[in-house]
Structure 1
Amino acid sequence: MEECKWTVLYVEDNQLNMALVHHIFKRNLPSVLLLKAETAELGLQIAREALPDLIILDIGLPGLNGYEALEILQQDQATCHIPVLATSAFAQSSDIEKARKKGFAEYITKPFQVKAFTETVKRLLYGEDLQKI
């Protein structure tokens, strides 16, 4: 089994999306450890403890939403450097623009296109050198 070199935190309340992303990572990103949280509150706690290389954050979470969680991450010295990838079913260009203005590194719409999702994660982890994974 390949050693995990990177850590990604996925914050998502939908179990089907969680299972899909788990499968994508297992199949396409085997050198990445995937941590999971079902709420923004738990995600913030895990982010502070694990300091992942990337956070994938659903916008439409119950309780704290993705925008509120991002703001907290950005204000915390321990987590402000971590890139955050937004996910949402909202696919309007205005939704994507709002997310980028708030500080998300990228925005992926649901349902996921597996190849585009995988390449976006790789790019955020490794920059333009997609061969590292």
Structure 2
Amino acid sequence: MGEHIQKVLYVEDNPLNMALMHHLFKKNLPSVLLLEADTGELGLEMAEQHQPDLIILDIGLPGLNGYETLECLRRDSRTERISVLAISAFAQLSDIAQARQAGFAGYITKPIRVKAFTEIVQGLLAERGG
């Protein structure tokens, strides 16, 4: 039986942030496959299709925002158990508390602190059995 390749879906509408994430994964998490979507709607489709081990979801998306996307993920039996990590430039304690209350597994603020981010992602992936 082949080894499970861990997959992370990154939902982000900013191409610069997407490029940064690609670089970060290539350098710090090279064995993890990074999938990408630039809208919440596409993120939902890709989550259903690819069943990622983790979703990193930008809060400030056009169309379905991060909270609405999370709500849709939780209502779908195919995606309800996937850990979802919020990422946002909103860094107030109230923003973080709101994300936790909504059911995000964690909250990363932009700009990303690479070491902390990598550790959080590795921890969430380890919980999924990787």
TM bucket (normalised to shorter chain) is over 0.9
Q: Residues of 2 paired with 1:56 and 1:95: CA distance?
A: 16
Q: Which residue does 1:25 correspond to in 2?
A: 25
Shift of 1:4: 7.0
Structure 1 residue 59 and structure 2 residue 85: aligned? no
Structure 2: segments with no counterpart, 5+ residues: none
Q: Residues of 1 paired with 2:23 and 2:120: CA distance?
A: 16
Total equivalences in the alignment:
127
SS of the residue 2:107 aligns to: strand
Deviations 1:39-85 (A, max 9, x none): 00101000000000000000000000000000000000000000000
* Aligned residues of 1:4 and 1:31 also touching (Cα < 8 A): no
Structure 1 residue 69 and structure 2 residue 76: aligned? no
* Distance 1:87-1:71 versus aligned 2 partners, 3 A rule: same
* Aligned residues of 1:4 and 1:30 also touching (Cα < 8 A): no
Q: Residues of 1 paired with 2:4 and 2:51: CA distance?
A: 14
Q: Which residue does 1:91 correspond to in 2?
A: 91
Structure 1: segments with no counterpart, 5+ residues: none
Task: In structure 1, give the amino acid aligned to 2:120.
Answer: T
TM-score by length of 1: 0.92
* Aligned residues of 1:6 and 1:32 also touching (Cα < 8 A): yes
Q: Which residue does 2:38 correspond to in 1?
A: 38
Structure 1 runs (4+) greater than 6 angstroms displaced: none
Deviations 1:87-119 (A, max 9, x none): 000000000000000000000000101111111
